[in-house]
Amino acid sequence: MSKETIESSAAAIAGRVGARELSAAEVTEAALGRIAASDDAVGAYLTVLGDGAREHALRVDARIAGGESLPLAGVPLAVKDNMCLTGTRTTCGSKILENWIAPYTATAVQRLLDAGCVPVGKTNMDEFAMGSSCENSALGVTRNPYDLSRVPGGSSGGSAAAVAAFEAAIGTGSDTGGSIREPGAFCNAIGFKPTYGRISRYGLIAFASSLDQIGPLTRTVEDAALAYDAMAGFDPMDATSVDRPVETAATHLRRDLKGVRIGIAREFDTAKLGAESHACYARAYRDLEALGAELVEISLPTADYGLATYYLIAPAECSSNLARFDGVRYGLRVEGDDVQAMYEATRAAGFGAEVKRRILIGTYALSSGYYDAYYVRAQKARTLIAADFAKAFETCDLIASPAASSPAFEFNAKSDPYSMYLMDYYTIPFSLAGLPALSVPCGWVTPEGGSSPMPMGLQLAAPLFEERALLGAAHAYEVATSHATRHRPRLAEVAK
Ligand code: GLN
């Protein structure tokens, strides 16, 4: 199979497999070949499903031979390692789950398989999805395919890198405060987080349950729409899944932005991002206008409280969610003299520094005497942030902003936790409000001291449940600007 085919979109691959020009088995072989050639350098995968993937592919080919029409026939799928896939290791990037085998499949993943995807592997991530660079993974290093000395972003960095390196056409990610959008921006991919509740979280190992949302990482907006159409919709297995009809997005992609009002928040001053990034976003906004959009100034006065609010609510929920990892039922157990000693030894050995930091902050914020001062106040701030967005959307249809605070940075560049937290400054407020938002490539900037142009991401966000309008507009921007195809990952030499 040609290099062009494995590098083409999920839509193109599915079209050819559906038309029986290619078999899912052939596509899978090509994807596994690409992984073998480049993943030693990239490190996107924690587990590669060789024969498991081949078996899935044969089942897809049998379904096609039986006359089924599958929207994602034979599409190589990378699954973030916090999502269950029956019989495969699901580690969350943590030593505590290093050898845990999932006994069932997450609903979102199952729906992609039902649509014809072939899972080729499980991807690296920041431990329990806490981080913005994948450097918090306890199990491996993932590198940015556009510059191997830089991080791929996080926490869904493995899926973003896999898609960017053509080692899969669709990657699943989870986004709590930015973990799909930021690695999407860093790796020249579309990173799409739907409305909270749109896609079932059943089988997604929880970080912060009131924020966690699954979504796709892809190389085109159309592919993101196809993956979303497959995954979205009510699931009785997730109590927060929303029972409301899903409008197909892939059939409503637009070519212009006529009649669309796009809000630019006064508070999101891109000048502080440096001259090159500032110019990049200024041009992106002008390009939106050139496509027919009307740019309107909006105000999000409480957005600045997003980070502080998030870093109380997310740790509070994680301290509760991660209490189950104690050596009794799941994963690692380190024996001790009594059960308390066993808990302590297991958690001390199993969790990394960032996870422990979050558990400590969260436990403190929820403790008696501090609960009102921290957790309750954070919930109130969250309500105000959501109200700001509701007000802004009275005067605009979409909001545009940077997706991340900088292009991809070098390993070990963020020496303190706070500078890492700042990467999600632009994405977190939207997460707190539950809004659908995505990152779409919007240009290239060569960072100071860097040798390669690195991709930049534009964040577009919509009111609750307006995924169709969001993806439609993002497609118009993507097609008109075609930033994503301007540079190739610097892996050509590896992946010949
Ligand atoms: N980087 C943020 C954090 O560390 C967001 C992570 C995420 O969205 N899962 O919490």
pLDDT for the residue numbered 490: 87
Ligand 1 mean position to 319 CA, how many Å? 15
pLDDT at 492: 61
Query: Is 36 inside any structural domain?
Result: yes
Please tell me if the CB atom of residue 177 comes closer than 6 angstroms to any atom of ligand 1.
yes
Q: Tell me what pLDDT residue 4 has.
A: 80
Provide the pLDDT for residue 67.
97
- What is residue 393's predicted lDDT score, i.e. its pLDDT? 98
Q: Tell me, yes or no, if 80 is annotated catalytic.
A: yes
How many domains does one find in the chain?
A: 1
User: 304-316: per-residue pLDDT in tens?
Assistant: 999 999 999 999 9
Is residue 179 lining ligand 1, measured as CB closer than 6 Å?
A: yes
Pocket test for ligand 1, best of 133, 175, 179 (most atoms within 8 A of CB): 179
Atom of ligand 1 nearest to the CA of 310: 10
- Mean of the pLDDT values across residues 138-145? 98
Please tell me the distance between residue 375's alpha carbon and the centre of ligand 1 in angstroms. Answer: 18
Share of residues in the chain with pLDDT > 90 (%): 96
The answer as to whether 302 is a domain residue is: no
| CATH number of the domain bearing residue 245 | 3.90.1300.10
Amino acid at 218: T
Query: Is residue 496's pLDDT more than 90?
Result: no
Q: Taking the CB of residue 305, how many other CB atoms lie within 10 A of it?
A: 18
Residue 305 maps to a domain: no
Angle subtended at Cα 475 by Cα 474 and Cα 480, rounded to the nearest 5 degrees: 100
State pLDDT tens for residues 161-219.
Answer: 999 999 999 999 999 999 999 999 999 999 999 999 999 999 999 999 999 999 999 99
- Which phi and psi (to 5°) does residue 193 adopt? -105, 110
Instruction: Reply yes or no on whether 356 is catalytic.
Output: no
- The residue annotated as part of the active site, out of 23, 132, 133, 155, is 155
Kindly report, residue by residue over 203-227, the tens digit of the pLDDT.
Answer: 999 999 999 999 999 999 999 999 9
List the beta bridge partners of residue 171.
78, 217
Specify the 3-state DSSP secondary structure of 271.
helix
> Is pLDDT above 80 for 126?
yes
Using the predicted structure, report yes or no on whether residue 493 has a pLDDT greater than 70: no
**pLDDT tens across 25-56, in order?**
999 999 999 999 999 999 999 999 999 999 99
On whether residue 40 sits in a domain, the answer given is yes
> What is the pLDDT at residue 110?
98
Atom of ligand 1 nearest to the CA of 176: 8
The tens digit of pLDDT for each residue in 68-121 reads 999 999 999 999 999 999 999 999 999 999 999 999 999 999 999 999 999 999
Q: pLDDT tens digits, residue range 406-457?
A: 999 999 999 899 999 999 999 999 999 999 999 999 999 999 888 899 999 9
Enclosing domain of residue 149: 3-260+395-494
Residue in this structure with the two tokens 């993002």, named with its chain if needed: 474
Asked if residue 332 is part of any domain, the answer here is: no
Q: Which atom of ligand 1 is nearest to the CA of 207?
A: 9
- The three-state secondary structure class of 77 is strand
Instruction: Name the burial class of residue 482, with classes exposed (0-12), middle (13-18) and buried (19+) by CB atoms within 10 angstroms of its CB.
Output: exposed
- Average pLDDT over the chain, rounded to an integer: 97
pLDDT on residue 494? 53
Strands 170-175 and 76-80, by their bridges, are parallel
* Per-residue DSSP letter, 165: T
Are 190 and 474 spatial neighbours (Cβ–Cβ below 8 Å)?
yes
Distance CA 279, CA 277 (A): 5
Between strands 170-175 and 190-193, the pairing is unpaired
Question: Is 292 inside a domain boundary?
Answer: no
Q: Active site includes 320?
A: no
Residue 265, pLDDT above cutoff 80: yes
193 occurs within a structural domain = yes
Q: What pLDDT does 2 receive?
A: 75
Residue that is written with structure tokens 């403190």 in the block: 364
Confirm whether 346 is domain-assigned. no
> Residue 376's pLDDT is what?
95
